[in-house]
Amino acid sequence: MGGSMNAISLRNLSVSYGDTRVVEDLSLDIAESECFGLVGESGSGKSTVLGAITGLVADWTGDISLFGKPRGKAIDRSFAALCQMVFQDPYGSLHPRQTVDAVLSEPLAIHGVGDADERVPEMMAACGLDPPFRFRLPHQLSGGQRQRVAIARALMLKPKILLLDEPTSALDVSVQAEILNLLKRLRREQKLTYILVTHDLAVVSFLCDRLAVMRQGRILEVTGVEALKTNSMTHTYSRELIARSTTRVTA
Ligand SMILES: Nc1ncnc2c1ncn2[C@@H]1O[C@H](COP(=O)(O)OP(=O)(O)OP(=O)(O)O)[C@@H](O)[C@H]1O
């Protein structure tokens, strides 16, 4: 790998809420253009890792570097332009009185990027939203369309990294596949690096190159996605996690 730069590098990351440490001495390198899955049972600290990277969770120690640049405690604008997050519930993350146009224009206005008239339709098209949706409100959209809007919003500043926290878990099964295909295509077209947090191992199998199994705030093992597909992970705990997964992992 000599010379190639990691998109995301975490070194000895520990994160606490008050007196409770929930992520413990975690180190991880994620290559540019890689899709990396974080799996583990509820409460193992997956979302907290994403929160520390994006600055939603403030109390962390260690080192968080993006493309070789260590991030300070405060999130600055250049960081926001580089790394964005997509959440599970697009309804909760969209303002009920903001049209799609307003939602997508906002990041441009905040960052002083002036070409909204061009960029909004362009990103809507890239995310599979037809032009008439531009002036609709969130409640006038389906769940899948809302998640497309949330993904388009995250991409407005042309970030290089997308952190995806259960991006399809709130959606109907029939819509999940559409959004997964969209994420796969966008990753290729926009050369994005993903960290994907999910309970759904079939999603990891579909999208990810590698994954880490987390347990009680630590990484138990990191493997290629083949080990997930062939159920040949090293630790018994990981194999049991796969066995308990409600959805079937298909190759
Ligand atoms: N804002 C918070 N304040 C206090 N404790 C929190 C907060 N958010 C999460 N925790 C605790 O931190 C631990 C890790 O939570 P986290 O959400 O990161 O786990 P997770 O693996 O993402 O779980 P899930 O799959 O259920 O989302 C849990 O014990 C949780 O209760």
Ligand 1 nearest atom to the CA of residue 57, by list position:
1
Taking the centre of ligand 1 as the mean of its atom positions, its distance from the CA of residue 67, in whole angstroms, is 27
Q: Which is the closest atom of ligand 1 to the Cα of 49?
A: 18
Q: pLDDT digit of tens for each residue in the chain (251 aa)?
A: 445 689 999 999 999 999 999 999 999 999 999 999 999 999 999 999 999 999 999 999 999 999 999 988 777 788 889 999 999 887 778 899 999 999 999 999 999 988 899 999 999 999 999 999 999 999 999 999 999 999 999 999 999 999 999 999 999 988 999 999 999 999 999 999 999 999 999 999 999 999 999 999 999 999 999 999 998 999 999 999 988 875 555 54
Q: Which fold has domain 6-93+159-244?
A: Rossmann fold (3.40.50)
Q: Measured between alpha carbons, how far apart are the two ends of the chain, in Å? A: 27
Which pLDDT value is given to residue 238? 94
- 17 CA distance to ligand 1 middle (Å): 9
Q: Where are the domains of the chain?
A: 6-93+159-244
- Ligand 1 atom closest to residue 17's alpha carbon, by position in its atom list: 4
Supply the residue whose CA is at minimum distance from atom 26 of ligand 1: 42
ipTM: 0.96
pLDDT at 72: 83
Distance 23 CA to ligand 1 centre (A): 10
Cβ pair 155, 126 in contact under 8 A: yes
User: In a mutational test of the pocket of ligand 1, which residue from 19, 21, 42 has the highest number of ligand atoms less than 8 Å from its CB?
Assistant: 42
Q: What's at 222, amino acid-wise?
A: V
Dihedral angle sign, alpha carbons of residues 181, 186, 187, 192: negative
The reported pLDDT for the residue numbered 2 is 47
Query: What is the per-residue pLDDT for 1?
Result: 45
> How many angstroms separate the alpha carbon of residue 218 from the centre of ligand 1?
13
Range list of H helices, the chain: 46-54, 77-82, 90-93, 100-110, 116-126, 143-155, 173-189, 201-207, 225-229, 236-244
> Which ligand 1 atom is nearest residue 45's CA?
18
The pair of structure tokens assigned to 24 is 């413990």
